[in-house]
């Protein structure tokens, strides 16, 4: 299936401006190309709706601006994390029974809960920082933290109970 002629013309007209705008915002031409590409993919995916807007070009530029802003936010959070890690000398604790139990409990959690728990409790990120990174709300992150802690507590208690039962035998 061939793309509609007006979509092809739109992409050819807007792409150079999108790349230029994104490049000026993020300061990296390769990333700007990716941002412009993603904005145009979204325009193509919703072309029937976008083509009927009063300003399809304005819409795709807004998407580009939002994507560039998200990229800058991600970079800022990554920089903060690297700075924190550089400041703190994180030394892995010895593989004690407690450490192994925590690792096992973490491994049994859903990936999202495991991720927010590690970002928050190990790296010291706030719920707001994690939300910015994930594109979620701080409330959603706090909910994942709560659920993750509850699941960890349940797993840790279950493991401790099994250990006590094996000591009795």
| pLDDT tens-digit readout, 101-153 | 777 788 888 888 888 888 888 778 889 988 888 888 999 999 999 999 998 88
Query: What confidence score (pLDDT) does residue 166 get?
Result: 60
Q: How many other CB atoms are there within 10 angstroms of residue 101's CB atom?
A: 16
Residue 161 has pLDDT above 70, yes or no: no
pLDDT tens for each residue of 46-76: 999 999 999 999 999 999 999 999 999 999 8
Domain limits, the chain? 5-87, 97-168
Residue 158 has pLDDT above 80, yes or no: no
pLDDT tens for each residue of 1-15: 677 899 999 999 999
Reply yes or no on domain 5-87 having CATH 1.10.1740. Answer: yes
Q: How many other CB atoms are there within 10 angstroms of residue 25's CB atom?
A: 18
Query: What confidence score (pLDDT) does residue 87 get?
Result: 66
109 Rama class: left (phi>0) / alpha (psi -120 to 50) / beta: beta
Residue 89 has pLDDT above 70, yes or no: no
- What dotted CATH number matches 97-168? 1.10.10.10
CA distances from 35 to 44, 58, 102, 130 (A): 14, 15, 39, 22
């Amino acid at each position: 299936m061939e793309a509609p002629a007006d979509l092809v013309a739109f992409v050819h007209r807007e792409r150079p401006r999108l790349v230029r705008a994104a490049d000026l915002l993020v300061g990296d031409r390769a990333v700007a190309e990716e941002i412009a590409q993603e904005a145009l993919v979204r325009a193509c995916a919703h072309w029937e709706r976008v083509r009927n807007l009063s300003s399809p070009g304005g819409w795709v530029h807004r998407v580009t601006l939002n994507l560039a802003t998200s990229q800058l936010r991600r970079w800022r959070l990554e920089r903060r994390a690297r700075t924190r890690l550089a400041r703190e000398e994180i030394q892995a604790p010895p593989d004690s029974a407690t450490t192994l139990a925590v690792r096992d409990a973490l491994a049994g959690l859903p990936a999202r809960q495991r991720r927010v728990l590690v970002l928050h409790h190990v790296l010291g990120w706030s719920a707001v920082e994690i939300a910015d990174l994930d594109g979620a709300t701080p409330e959603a992150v706090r909910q994942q933290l709560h659920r993750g802690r509850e699941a960890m507590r349940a797993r840790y208690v279950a493991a401790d109970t099994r250990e006590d039962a094996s000591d009795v035998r």
